[in-house]
Structure 1
Amino acid sequence: MRRWIVGFGLAVAATCVPACGTEDPVPDVVVEISNVQFSPMDVTVEHGGTVEWRFDDGGLLHHVESPGLFDSGITGDGTFRHTFESVGVYEYSCSVHPYMIGVITVL
């Protein structure tokens, strides 16, 4: 009986981990990466806001980066998130396709 109770307690604790605040923050803005472009290219978030980039370009490789601030690594699928802790205007680009440029304004 005790083993069952301990096992049940561990199962409940494991279930709580994703639901108890350990997940990534919910994005305030989503930027789609498709057709070899950022959409939208320019976005605005509040201080502490999170931007999520969704790689949805049929597996084509992209790289979202703002040197010294964030770097998604080169990937062709999935998502990348960054939370902006400082007010300012931040340009970012795709190093694979240098003509892909975007701007994040943090209020």
Structure 2
Amino acid sequence: MKKLIALTAGLIVSAALATGCSSGDADAGGGAPAAVVEVKNMSYSPAQVTIEKGQTVQWRFDDSGLPHDVVGEGAVAGQLKSDLLTEGTYEYTFDEAGTFDYHCTPHPMMVGTVVVTE
């Protein structure tokens, strides 16, 4: 019986880890992104976020089946680049301070900016 309980507990923990759940508090350094940008209604919202160097931005895609991406310009061109997505998330960690612009390839009027401070 003890082996069955231990096995069941182990499977529950494994399932939680596989789905990205954890018992840690997200606000206590649990790996939560510093900023979240919603990608829907043909826009990035908010269009500008400010984070600190070394922090991560997460883009959440949900725009009624329209595919969008995140493509960096300037210093992050070629590095900040998601797949075309209709749903799901993309994350990027900014290791340098500065102002970084990005756009959506199929919808060039969709633009955003990440300001990274020291």
Normalised-by-shorter TM-score class:
0.7 to 0.9
Q: Does 1:62 align with 2:62?
A: no
Return the letter of the residue paired with 2:68. Answer: H
Residues 33-55 of structure 1 show CA distances to partners (whole Å, capped at 9, x for unaligned) of: 11101111111001111111111
Which residue, 19, 24, 31 being the options, matches 2:22? 19
Q: Decide which structure has greater strand share.
A: 1
CA distance in structure 2 between the aligned counterparts of 1:45 and 1:78, rounded to whole angstroms: 22
- Structure 2: which 5+ runs fail to align? 25-29
Tell me the number of residue pairs that the alignment of Structure 1 and Structure 2 aligns. Answer: 105
Instruction: Provide the residue aligned with 1:105 in structure 2.
Output: 115
- Structure 1: which 5+ runs fail to align? none
**Cα RMSD over matched residues?**
2.4
Instruction: Provide the residue aligned with 2:90 in structure 1.
Output: 80
Instruction: Provide the residue aligned with 1:38 in structure 2.
Output: 44
Which residue, 77, 101, 104 being the options, matches 1:94? 104
The 1:42–1:16 alpha-carbon spacing in structure 2 relative to 1, beyond 3 Å, is: closer
CA contact (8 A) 1:25 1:50 kept: no
The 1:15–1:55 alpha-carbon spacing in structure 2 relative to 1, beyond 3 Å, is: closer
CA distance in structure 1 between the aligned counterparts of 2:92 and 2:4, rounded to whole angstroms: 41
Task: Provide TM-score, normalisation by structure 2.
Answer: 0.72
Q: Residue 14 of structure 1 aligns to a residue in which SS?
A: helix
